Structure formats: structure tokens, C-alpha cells
Structure 1
Amino acid sequence: MTIGNSGSASTSAELLAAIESVSSPDTVDTPFGQLNFFDGVPLPESVSTIYDALDLIRGVDVFLNCVPGASLVALRRGLRTLGIDSPRAIGYTDPRANSRTIGLTPNTETTYGTTFLDLKAWGPTIIEAPPNSMCVVDDFWFRYVTDMGIPGPDHGQGGNYLFLPPGYEGEVPDGYFVLRSPTFTNWVVLRALGGVADVRKTRIYPLSELDSPSPNEWINWVEESCNTVHANDLSFYFEVDEIVQEEPAEALDPERAGQLAAIGIVKGRPFDPDERMRGILDKAARIGAGMARALSYAPRDPQASLYGSWNNAFVGGSHEFLRDGARLLDARTQFHYIATVITPAMARARVGAGSAYAYTVHDARGEVLDGGRSYRLHVDPNPPAKNFWSVDVYDTQTRSLIQVPSTIWPAVASNSGQLVANDDGSHDLFFGPTAPEGRESNWVETLPGKSWFPLFRLYGPLEPWFEQTWRLGEFEPLD
């Protein structure tokens, strides 16, 4: 077949363009150094650079995508140091959570109860949830299993829940709300409107003890100190390996399992990185932590912005972090790096039920909140909360309640009986290293040399919050 000159020239140009588009230049400048090739083949001195870079990238991916699992491994480890080492032992905070423990953004207004189910050791397990409660169970990869209580199928009447381990094929008795978890370990969070007395009505025991359950041991850990937050260095990957070794391989999606396998974390195999890989993973964790802090403190998804400097911690309105069929990877990291508990009731609050949240790390000028400076936050009259509202203050490093000399409850709340309102019903709240004279009850101490961030909570948010006809003010510097 003969092709005319013009056609031949056009075809040659297209072919050259195609070759160019699939080819690599002999040198490529990268953040990892210059990569050198001979006609597309990496030269020996560049091969090691390439694999170091690939391992670093995989390590960063694992950090960002496995924060949820590492978070619960760290939480369980911390609780075990307090004696909460089986489902029989239930920890609680009486009267309420405080800054003694390093834990992700707890509130100081609620009595918490908590433990971990161990469906491998106990098999099918029963939880008798108390009435008028708001309880949640999440699996060990921090995915939602069920609500119990008011947002759950018992609708606050109290109910019996039966949790079945992965692969369970035995008899399932009638009379229970039955849940099948993909993981053996499950985190239980207990909250009740009646406080400690109602929380302690909870009973947890194996199905095998149905006729004569052993009593639960209640441990008040409010006076104790422990760390329940995951690592930001090499040891992060050992935290993740712990969950991989314990849980069924099918409990984790293939994509994250593949990322883990790429850095040597595989179920049934020892995770023992050599000196080279340890150095790379330590660097990857620190880079990943830096990225997670950007996602949390300066999120770029437009839906993360509430208004002004205030951010929304649950982007997309989905407890699975899904939008248009796609997983919001950044939103998942943003939430889990600073917060705990996954439930649809948090992701999509209803008018008059549940709670709504807003947080910021910036003042009215766009500057990072500085513990050495003083600020005022004006809260307009009639905050749209059916129950009450609060502002808790957290350390930007640990994402835990800030530790200050003046109090173990660094917060102000409308139900405290201590806030002083202005004549029009509004409130001026103060934050800084020293209390404004005469306004001590409206003040939260901060520390010079440290940053901090507030979390504003509405319990039973009302229409003006969702419609944004009522808005929070900004933190106004006073010096």
C-alpha cells in the first residue's frame, strides 16, 4: 500500500508524538534526587534511589490511610494499663473526663464508659444497653458496627445486643439485636443521660454465661493518667501490624492491605524491617503526621469550611467518608487524626438530636491561636442548642485536653451554672494565660509557647445552626 507524502509526514509526526508521550528522559529531577536512565532503563545508581522513594511513598500512604486502626490499637493499649483488659472490665469517668489522660478530643461534659469486646476469646457476646443512653460500637479498623440506645434500634428503651465473631456459623438465639462484626476486637463507647448511675446499668458477658453471667468490674479511671493516642514515628507501623496479625485478612480492604504488604506488614509474617527500612518508615511517619496536621488544621476540601475560620470535622456527611461513590481519603484522615467514635449520628446530626461540632486553629486575623496571647469569643444570644453548648480547649500537638495549672477541665459550658451572661443574653468567653478581672468563670487558661484549638459543641442542635442564621463569632485578639 502506498501512502502519499502528506499522509506519511502526518503519520510520522503522530508516531513521534506517541513515542515521546510513552518515553522517559535520560534525567528526571525529583524531590528524592536526580534519576538517571539509559534509553528508559534506570541506571544502577538510580535504582536504589527509586526504591527508597517508593518505600517512603508507601509508608506515607499507610500512615494516612491506617490512622483509624492505629488509633484504636493505641486506645486499647492505654486502657489496658488502667486494668481495663477484658470485656469484663468497663472503664468510666466519674464525674467526667479531664486532662489527665492523653486522648483524642474528649468532652468534659459527659460521663463516658468504655471497654473492648474480644469475640475471639469470648465468642458471641451480649451487651445489655441501658435506657436513655447513646452508645456506639465500632470495629477494630474503626468502622461503624451499631448504635445502641436513643439512636439505635432500641430507641432509648434499653435492649439486648448480640455480637457475633467473624465467620460464626453457630446457633443464633432469638430476642436480640444481632450484629456480625468483621473484626474480633470491637470498641464499646457508653454514654447515658442519667450519668454514672445509668452507665453502670450496662452489662457485658459472653453468650455462654447467659444463665448465670459473671458481674462486670467497673473501673473509675478519672484520676489516672495514660496515653491512648497513636504514635507519630516508626512505632506507628508496629501498632498497625498488631491489628493486622490479630484480625482476619478479609477484615481489611485489598487496597490498604496491599499498601501494608508493600512495606512488609502481612498477616502471619513477622514485621521486622531492616535498618534501611526503619529509617525510611520513621521518616514516612513524620511526613505523614505533618500531612495529617495540614488536613486537620488547614483542610482544603471546600466542604470542610463551615464559615469564617470555623471548620467542620465530618466532611461529606457520611460516616463512611463517601461522596459520589468515592472514598474521601483526606476527610477520613482529617477526622481520625483529631477525633474518635464513628457513628452516622455524628456524621449527619438531626435537628434536636445528637450533637454538632465546629473547630478552628485561627483567630479573626487568620493567625494561629497562641497560648501566650489573650482572646475573646463572643457567643450571640440564643445559641441553637436544645440541651446545652460548650467550648473545650485542646493541645494542638496531642489533640487532647490542654494541660494547664488552673483546672483539669479546660472548658466552659452553658450547663455549668457558672457562666456569666451579658444583659442581652449573649456571652463573652475569654482564653489566655491570665484571667480577665471579674470574668474568671468565663475564662479558659492557655499556655505561653503553645498553640491550642477549641471545639464548639451543640447538644441537640436546632434549625438556626443548620441554616446558619445563627453563627459563631471569631476569636478576637485582646493584645
Structure 2
Amino acid sequence: MDTPAAHPGRLGSVVMDGELPRREDLGIVFDELDHQMATQAYLWALPLVSYAQWQRVHTDEFGAGPSDLVHYESYRDRLGLMTANATTPYILGFIDLGITGPLVVDLPAGPTAGGVSDFWQREIGAMGEMGPDQGEGGRYLIVPPGQDVPDDADGYHVLTATGMNVMFGFRTLGTDAAQAQRLVDAVGLYPYAHRDAPPPTKVLSPAGRTWSGVQPKGLEYWERLHEIYQSEIVDERDRFFLAMLRQLGIEQDKLFTPDERMTRILTEAAAAGELMAQANAFAKRFPGSRYWLDRQWDLVLMLDRSDQRAAGYDQLLERTAWFYEAVSFSAAMKSRTPGRGQAYLGTYTDVDGRWLDGARRYTLRVPADPPAKLFWSATVYSADTRCLIDNPQERGDRGSRDPELEYNEDGSVDLHFGPEAPAGRESNWVQTVPGRHWFCYFRLYGPLEPYFDRSWKLDDIRPA
């Protein structure tokens, strides 16, 4: 006897033939199976697709070669970079070690922070002030996975890559623009095979062009995932996910040609996966993510280690949260040492727990003496793109490096957010965009003890 199935969602339309589904309804069950696999694969692949998309921008839009760098200097240059710092420039490149072979990085001495990561955005090694050169500069050798270190590699800091595709990048930390440019001009990136006569490193610029490193939507997400796996190794921990991708038509050494049914399923799963990623990032439910229990500020980086592993499991949802809203991870970004590295806090709502609205006016009081050895900044990002807010003001942050910042008599600072500047407070204002939600990162560079012991407490963002 046929009876409706007691299942939620799409499976609720399945009719049971006794204890089994009707054979004519099996298509509904398999559609749901493939949809669920695709949704989970979407969340799993976020960091990989993020770098794959950005790598494509470098080659297709900026014309970067296998060992070229791109210098993101102006505000407009950084508008496509997820949760970019609006204060310091970025210099980086994406390298396929299958093309270059072992790769040399010549990092000059000076105030820099950087490193190398694979396309799962796992840090392979830090460089600069938090790396083995300690800001004194050095020569690094990146060896592809599965290859031996060359016998004549004495004098190099050797890093063994955990993937065939890697990102090398660094930021200049000083305030001297001329010094920063000298550091950019002095960096070297070239194949180890060319070490005796290294070619000049080409440094390109977005030159204000519109671009996006955000993971693409719809079917293009899966196209990018398929492309990157043609030149990437398979980690042992990911073999079950690769089985899911195989069912979805994504395999190494095979074309990706989804039919009408699979195109529909993948498009719907990308939309559902992004909805889950938004909730997972913007309404964090990880134990310990709320930094002060009576405030709306979260630790945005819930990853414990750069290899994304924890005791007994890998941090899938913590990884998904960070790499949906940001790019790159370094141990320096989650400093545990006073005066070193950085600390990142984020808020996605106002004091009452409502999403931050680009049409409304808000204030944020930063108490006196923020615990930062170097500087602090508050930066506004678009909730849709997770990139710096694209406003007519062409400015997304305010912080202690701003010479025009106005302080209160007690040393605190009132920051203002809204579509129009409050009268007489333009120097402390970041312009928001009506019709768009936004969120805010508060960064401390060289966080000090009052941050770590939580004796210094940041106020919530409040409607004006």
C-alpha cells in the first residue's frame, strides 16, 4: 500500500511502497543525496576555491606569470580582496610549483610580515618579523611536495610545500612610504634552477581596475574547483570529499560537463552552501568565540593551528567560517605573545544583536589606551562581498595611524559609521552604503597584556 513518507523537505514528496520508496520516486531521493553532498562539498572547498579564483585573476586580469607578484597599494586596488587591511599594502603571488619547480624567495631586511601557504590556506612557513629571519631578511627555498631538498641548499630557509599550488605574500609594516617601496623593489621570486642568474622579479599593479577574489557563485564555483584539482595533489584527509566530487562529475584528468539535472543541483547547492557559510561566519556558535561575554565582539579566527587540526578532529566549520569571510591564515594573526603579531576581533551586529545596516548611523567608542604596541584600526566590510566597503569616500577604516583622528578628553575615541558624516566629525567617520549590510573588524597590531587578560574592553557598535 502506497503511503506518504514521513520525511522533511524534498523527501516529504516521496511516497512509500510499504517499507521502501516507490521506484518512480527514487529520482527524488537521489536528487536530495546529490544536493546534500554538493552542499557539504561547497563548505569544504571554500578556502581552495578562494585561492583558485584569486590565482585566475592574477593570470587572466593582471597578466601575471608563474613567478610574478602583484602589489595591492591603493584603496581601489584592495577592493577585491576579502577583509583586506586598509592600512598596509599587500605584495603577493600565486605559484604552481609544477611549472616552476623548487622556488626561491629573497626577502629583504625590514619591517615585514608574510609567509607561504598552500591553497587550503594552511601556512607552510612564516617570513619576516614572525619568521626565522626575524625581520633581518633571508633566502627561502620552497620545495614541491614529494621532492627532495637539493643537496646544495645550504644557507636557505627550506620550506616543504603541502600542495602544488602555493601563495607567497607579505605586507610592509612601517609608516615610511619610501622604505616600503624599497622593500617591494628588493624582493626576489624565481625558480631555484635560475639561482645563478635570477631574472628580475616582475611586480604588477591592479592599477585601480575592478576585480574580485571572492569565491564565484553558481556553477562557476564548481568550474573553479574542477580546474584547480587538475594541478593539485589529493590529501589523505580529503578522499571522502573527493568521492563526493566524483559523484558530482568533478574528477582529475576528466572534463567537467554537467548535464541539465546536475547543473540545477550544483547551482542550488552553491546557493544553499553560501547561506550556511554566512550563518556559520556571521553568527558564530563556536565555544569561546565571544571575546567578552557582555559584548557582541567575536574572535574571528577560531582555528587553533595553521594546519587546521585539533585534538581528535579537523576544524572544518572553523575553517569554513574564516575562509568564507577572509583569506590567508598565519600564526601571527592569532598572536599569543604580548607585543608580537596581531589580534582580530569582529562584530556583525549592533549592541542589540541586529545586523548592521548601511542606511543607519552608528557610533563605536574605543576606550583610552587600546592595547597595541604598533597601532590599532577599525575597518568596515561589505557583508555581501566580505571586501572593503566600496563607498564614495574611498575609505573603509579609522585608526591610531590617522593623524586627523579626534580624541575625547579622557583619551577615548568615538568612531562614526553611516551614509552621511556627522557634523564636525568627518575625521572619525566611515561612510556606509544604504541597502547594504556591513560588518567591522577591530585589529590590534602588537597586542599587549590588557588585551590578553581582557582588562581592556571594547564597546559595542550602537545606533546613533
In structure 1, the residue matched to 2:52 is 73
Looking at structure 1, the residues matched to 80 and 412 of structure 2 have their Cα atoms a distance apart, in angstroms, of 33
Aligned-residue sequence identity (percent) comes to 35
Residue type at the aligned position of 1:178: V
Post-superposition offset of 1:383: 0.4
1:410 is displaced (CA, Å) by 1.5
Within the alignment, does 1:188 sit opposite 2:168 as a pair? yes
Q: Which residue in the other structure is 2:398 paired with?
A: 412
> Paired residue for 1:333, among 303, 313, 320?
320
Task: Look up the equivalent residue of 2:123 and give its one-letter code.
Answer: Y
Q: Distance in 2 between matches of 1:108 and 1:251?
A: 37
More divergent stretch after superposition (386-395 vs 221-230): 221-230
Q: TM-score, normalised by structure 2?
A: 0.93
CA shift, 1:84, in A, is: 4.7
**Structure 2 gap ranges (5+):** 175-179
Q: Distance in 1 between matches of 2:343 and 2:207?
A: 25
Amino acid in the other structure paired with 1:278: T
**Would the aligned equivalents of 2:62 and 2:205 in 1 still touch at CA under 8 Å?**
no
Q: Number of paired residues?
A: 452
2:165 is the counterpart of 1:178: no
Note closer, same or farther for the CA distance 1:395–1:170 as it changes in structure 2 (3 Å cut).
closer
- 1:60 is paired with a residue whose SS is helix
Task: State the distance in 2 between where 1:399 and 1:103 align.
Answer: 8
Note if contact 1:98-1:401 (Cα within 8 Å) is conserved in structure 2.
no
Alignment check: 8 A CA contact 2:35 2:266 kept: yes
Distance in 2, Cα, partners of 1:332 & 1:430: 31
Trace 1:344-359 onto structure 2 (pairs within 5 A). 344-359=331-346
Deviations 1:90-122 (Å, cap 9, x if unpaired)?
A: 11133x444763220101111110111231112
Q: 1:47 aligns with which of 15, 22, 26?
A: 26
Mark the CA change 1:170 to 1:380 in structure 2 (over 3 Å): closer, same or farther.
Answer: closer
Task: Map 1:64-463 to 2 at 5 A.
Answer: 64-94=43-73, 96-98=74-76, 101-132=79-110, 133-169=112-148, 171-173=150-152, 174-194=154-174, 195-250=180-235, 253-307=238-292, 308-406=295-393, 408-463=394-449
Answer whether contact 2:64 2:70 (CA < 8 A) is retained. Answer: no
Gaps of 5+ in 1: 1-24
Q: Give the equivalent residue in structure 2 for 1:56.
A: 35
SS in 1 for 2:130: coil
Q: Contact between 1:264 and 1:273, CA under 8 Å: does it hold in 2?
A: yes
Q: SS of 1:359's equivalent? A: strand
What are the Cα deviations for residues 140-195 of structure 1, in whole angstroms up to 9, with x where unaligned? 22222111111112222111111112332473322211122132221111123342
Kept in 2, the 8 Å contact 1:318–1:348? The answer is: no
Compared CA separation, residues 462 and 321, structure 1 to 2 (3 A): same
Q: Is the 8 A contact 2:71 2:92 kept in 1?
A: yes
* Equivalent residues of 1:130, 1:201 under 8 A apart: yes
Instruction: Kindly indicate whether the alpha-carbon contact (under 8 Å) linking 1:135 and 1:191 is maintained by their aligned counterparts in 2.
Output: yes
- Are the counterparts in 1 of residues 79 and 389 from structure 2 also a CA contact under 8 Å? no
In 2, Cα distance between equivalents of 1:166 and 1:320 = 15
Alpha-carbon distance in 1 for matches of 2:455, 2:420: 33
Amino acid at match of 2:95: L
Q: CA deviation at 1:350?
A: 2.2
